[in-house]
Structure 1
Amino acid sequence: MDGYCLFSCSQDNSARCWISHENHLEEIFMHSNFPELRESADLSELSDRCYGLTLAPGEQMIAVVRSLDLNLLNQMYQVRTQKAVVEFIWIGGQFVGIPLDRSIDICSSQSTDLSSSNLMWWGSNILWSLKKYENVEKRLVIWDVVAVLQELKKSAPAFLETLVHSWVSVLLSGDPQCVSIDAPSRSMHDMMPYVSTRKLHLLNIMCRKVMVSIHTHHGPGAENGNEETTDFWSTLLVRSETELRERLVGFTFAAVLKRTAYLFNGTSTENCWFPVGVAQMDSWVTMNYDGQVHDQLQSIRSKIKDLGSRIDGYSDVESCPYCSSPVHFESPDVAICGERHTLPRCRASMILCSVVQPLWHCVCCGGTVNKLLPESFFTMQASTMHDEGSLDLSAASVPLCPFCGILLQRSMPAFLLSTSPA
């Protein structure tokens, strides 16, 4: 566990946890801290033998593959079909070698199931894990962290609100006192351009999968589920996605200008990423031009307007694939033709998605991607987002969501999945 903790499957076939203390190893007892998860598992048929173990990406849980006690299984059916089970052990609520973060505020008893000590360790380990994901070299796979936070929203919602709010404050400004729920949304928006793309991806995931859903789940009468708090997280999500969309548009415009410069200088563009949807993005900037987009984006957009139709693939003419009626650009996410057919737009390029080709789908935001972005988009800092001179268009395209940063999944057209297509 990043040098803090060692998990092993020893010769006696048992899973063990060790930490280094001075010049020797000390064993730590492993146990889950969530009573609901622990009590729902029936472990009566398990033996002590362990086939192996692995650590979850966010390092809040380990999965142990255990054998079954053959004497307790049905000899005719279960013995032949059941060979082993996977046991999930949540380890974030205990000491695993990571220093305790004593800045976490626990002002009162938060849960009847979790002690203050458990909450402190959960908070410290979660913040430590999220901090590691700010490094763009680490793939954004945090399903175990999200699962822990979703469980905390049931058992300790007030603690969760305090913990995530503290994390967001540091994420946006580096100062825990800088961002407050009472702070104007405009001041939060002003901080967004100075935050890295990876941090905005983390913020989007936390807002969408944890904080916004927490208030929807508990309703307006729940603890900390008042309208003001709900509006805070919803507004934060909208601001973050708007900032990412501006960066995406700026990145595409800058790529067009760089490719144009290559062609002017006689440089080959064979291995360079080819931007699409320039006309649609230009329409989006026009819709949000009056003080709603950054000055940098307005400046680079003026250069795109000068090139106009000389840009390869520049076209704002779109038609419905079902009825061929014209489709006008009204939203970057969805389009409706004259015959009222609803058509998804690519989250990365704003063009209409294909209805016959396999698409990419994000399980976090639900968006659809038709045109993949190069890896350089996900690793760039905000300060260089609209600088075409620093773009790396030779980077390979990667199946990552431009708004969440997680791996996309392939989705097939519905008629290809039907057993009896019409």
Structure 2
Amino acid sequence: MPSTDVDAAAALLIQLKDDNFGSDTTLGTLQKLKIYGRNFLVTNYIFKSSEETAIIQKYAKKNKSLQIRLEALRILANALLLRPTLRNLFQDADAIAVDYLDCTVEEEFVASRILFLATAENLTISFSIVQYARAKIEQHAQNYTHRSSTAVQETCKLLFNCLIRSSEGLLDQERLAGNVLTILSQLASTLESPASNLISCLVKLSAVNTGPYIDKLLAILENALQTEEFKKESVILPLLIVIYRTYNEAPESDVLQAVKQKILPTGEERKKPLGTAVSVSGGLLRLVTDPAFPTCRELAYQLFWDSSDQDARKFIHNIGLGYAVGYLVNHGIAVPQDIVENVKDETKYNPVTGQQIDEETHKLSDMTDEEKEREAERLFVLFERLNKNGFIKVENPIRTAVESGRFQELKE
């Protein structure tokens, strides 16, 4: 970084300290400093203490024009982002929270980002900042537009800080959660911001009835499980927490039924092995076998278990023994001994894969010899593991087939 850039930025800061210019000159000076301030080395040099940020803060006052205020706020936001040590030294957060209770969405976007950064490392958060965050969420609940989305995103990040670090943030949870849910209901059913930010706030709002919004939450989950960019544990986990909590706390039978209907495999899905369908149940079953989702895995399993009335037989019927055995073993739940022995029972489902047996037989005729061998090897390993764990004791059908001569290894 040329020293001339640092010197030029420092000179601009000195000019702004005097504040003896007209509005046009002041705006131009702030815009130049903003550009220089995007570089870490410049920001690290010129913003050494709260004294420098105080120079910029005076241009963020409401007695300045909108454009001047916005430029000043942007400079402060960049400084707090690039120089974290400034955050604990920043003394004007409360003033910003009070001044910008009533502001445009453009101002809110930057003001909320400043307040978020200023509170990121604080153990406590002042009442004025909490009041600002709650007031903004309420304003958006009453009059949300697509133009407000980025402002809501930043305010939700601030609100999350308030909820985990301020007792005032948790006051009147029902009203606050109602506002959060009202905004969420107006968004597309995806985990794009600000929906993901709103859901993260819901995780911290325990005293709330999300039952009436269960269809919206399940629609968001369905989209997330099919969208690669959202398939990250940190993104999906808050949503699964809210859905699981809704299921367990909802007194309404229609909520319980809505969850069961969405996450349990349908008859159509059972025409193929479970976990292959493009659906909520298919996505969750793929998720429980993905090592990148250790916490989501347990929540997903718990949803399946609770939706199966915590009954091992129903659980195995609903998701297949191949998926169910991991949960059952880890939780010390015995597998009914006759589950695998009675494959061709009245349900006509393969208890291991969950697939309809008549469909399975039909598909077998279409498989190549190599595909049949791979499937046989997969089932052999599964049965051997189940027997080794001691949760079921049955004859491995693949081993029986080999020993009886009904299974022959393919020639190279």
More RCO (CA 8 Å, sep 6+): 1
Q: Greater Rg, structure 1 or structure 2? A: 2
TM-score (norm 2): 0.28
Higher relative strand content: 1
Higher relative helix content: 2
